[in-house]
Amino acid sequence: MSSTDLLIRPNTLSKKKSKTLKKGTYFIQTWGCQMNVEDSEQIALYLEQIGFKPTDNLSEAHLTILNTCSVRKKPEDKAFSMLGELAIRKRRHPDLIIGVCGCMAQIRCNEIRKRAPHVDFVIGTAQINKIGQTVENVLEERSFFSEINLPERKGAIVSDIPERQVERNAKLKSFVPIQYGCDKFCTYCIVPETRGRERSRPTVDIIDEVKKLAEYGTKEITLLGQTVNSYGKNLVEGRVPFSELLWKVAEVDGIERIRYMSPYPRDFKTDLIQTIRDCPKVMEHVHMPIQSGDNDVLKAMKRLYTVESFKDIIQELRETIPNITITTDIIVGFPGETEEQFQNTMNVVRDIEFDGSYMFKYSIREGTKAADMEQVEKSVKEDRLARLIQLQNEITLKRNLPEVGNIDEVLVEGVSAKNDKTYQGYTRGFKMVHFDAGRDLTGELVKVKLENANVWGFKAYLL
Ligand code: SAH
Ligand code: SF4
Ligand code: F3S
């Protein structure tokens, strides 16, 4: 398809109608990681600035945004399937505006146009601050728009980081991106493609944002970055170690809890371990992806650590902070993974005893190195995943059981989906807790006694 083909689409909006649409409603469907969840929040704020109002009802929305993820095939399939359903809806309601944002938008703009010509605009991961103007353009000019430039890093490139909207509704828990992109290029991963080169936000901007969020009522901050603990490179003000940033965030009044996602094992150093121990606001939970328990597979993945060096970090963490919770990500069926290599992963999981894991079947991502390697059969991947999940569930329960009787602190997030007398929240170690309470404790830090251990977390009683 040539680039001129891309500009041809039927005109479906009349100018008169576009005025009514400006005061219409929007619906955002989000897939993917916390970075995307946070981007959707930013998108919402930009749309509200130009007069749109939120709706939970897709079938009544005048503007529908798909904030997409490309990390595995499944979320991409879901996005294309939703675009298919929206094509039917748009035939009935030609005024409907459809936009695609996020990681799939970044790398598949042409494919989206080809497979879904009813899409009105495509905005990549580094341009979401242009969404207001783009929607206005669609309304006024009735043609397709796209914004998919990705900044390259040239030395200190902090000026290329978009401004962020922080005038948001008070939220108990807020995500704060501190680093964009990724330079690691793990051979299975599409993220360096979709998010571009690693860029750190200036510390002052981060602290300003955290202060504003605290004023609006945020108590828990999660700092986001693909390799969050390598934060601080390429800053004009000079290198700021991640552990130093944590201390600075902790100085902000009103912030009670600090989390971060995801640290990269090679950069997990003693200063960070000491900060988790010494800084009361930094939670005793580390989510550190191991990906595989076999050194040859790790090498083929281009992960820059070994099973042994990973275990050394775990040992130092557990010796320094005995109540630390450790969770991880694991991929099974990476190209060429043998049964023996998979067994090495099972053994490392048995050995380390993670409190929990996100476990995935390897998914081919075109354009990455692993896509061209010899693939493992689908049924083998499925079988390995099932065995790993079973093992991890047993370990999770095994690790939760001895915690029964412990007193822990929970940040109350609200009532549970099933029962409006049962409140829920997370412990400092990021374990889910359900407990009954006679009054609304949402937003409060409470002490509970853990009384019933499950794979999902604990039933507890309020002290
Ligand atoms: N930056 C983070 C991970 C981001 S992607 C880190 O490096 O820790 C989240 C997780 O998705 C990864 O940890 C990995 O386990 C999984 N993942 C990434 N690419 C994948 C692929 N092609 N197939 C299956 N899982 C994948
Ligand atoms: Fe992907 Fe690896 Fe970067 Fe994580 S560190 S985002 S897995 S390339
Ligand atoms: Fe998906 Fe992009 Fe996040 S690919 S996991 S939404 S960085």
pLDDT digits (tens, 9 = 90+) for 270-293: 999 999 999 999 999 999 999 999
112 lines ligand 3 (CB under 6 A): no
pLDDT digits (tens, 9 = 90+) for 163-221: 788 776 668 999 999 999 999 999 999 999 999 999 999 999 999 999 999 999 999 99
Query: CB-hemisphere CA count at 13 Å for 109?
Result: 19
Question: Whole-angstrom Cα distance, residue 162 to residue 126?
Answer: 7
Long-range contacts of 71-78 (CB under 8 A, 24+ apart): 71/32, 71/33, 71/103, 71/189, 71/190, 71/191, 71/363, 71/365, 72/360, 72/363, 72/365, 73/363, 73/364, 74/363, 75/31, 75/32, 75/104, 76/104, 76/108, 78/31
Determine which residue's CA is closest to atom 4 belonging to ligand 2.
226
- Give the Cα separation of 463 and 460 in Å (integer): 9
169 CB neighbour count, 10 Å cutoff: 9
* DSSP-derived secondary structure for 352-402: H--SEEEEEE----TTSGGGGSPPPPHHHHHHHHHHHHHHHHHHHHHHHGG
- Average pLDDT over all residues of the chain: 92
| Pairing relationship of beta strands 220-224 and 257-261 according to DSSP bridges | parallel
Q: How far is the CA of 390 from the centre of ligand 3 (A)?
A: 26
Residue 253 CA to residue 188 CA, distance in Å, equals 41
Atom of ligand 2 nearest to the CA of 226: 6
Q: Is 32 in the pocket of ligand 3 (CB under 6 A)?
A: yes
How far apart are the C-alpha atoms of 427 and 257, rounded to whole Å? 11
**Is any atom of ligand 1 closer than 6 Å to the C-beta of 180?**
no
pTM above 0.85, yes or no: yes
Q: Is the C-beta atom of 71 inside 6 A of ligand 1?
A: yes
- Confirm if 276 and 285 have CB atoms less than 8 A apart: no
Residue 19, pLDDT > 70, answer no
Average pLDDT over residues 90-105: 96
Atom of ligand 3 nearest to the CA of 190: 4
- The percentage of residues in the chain with a pLDDT greater than 70, rounded to a whole number, is 93
What confidence category does residue 417 fall into, taking pLDDT thresholds of 50, 70 and 90?
A: confident
- Going by alpha carbons, the residue nearest to atom 3 of ligand 3 is 33
- pLDDT digit string, tens, across residues 51-77: 999 999 999 999 999 999 999 999 999
Which of 329, 345, 392 to probe ligand 1 with, by most ligand atoms within 8 A of CB? 329
pLDDT, tens digit, 9 for 90 and up, residues 224-253: 999 999 999 878 788 899 999 999 999 999
- Lowest mean pLDDT of 8-12, 120-124, 399-403, name the range: 8-12
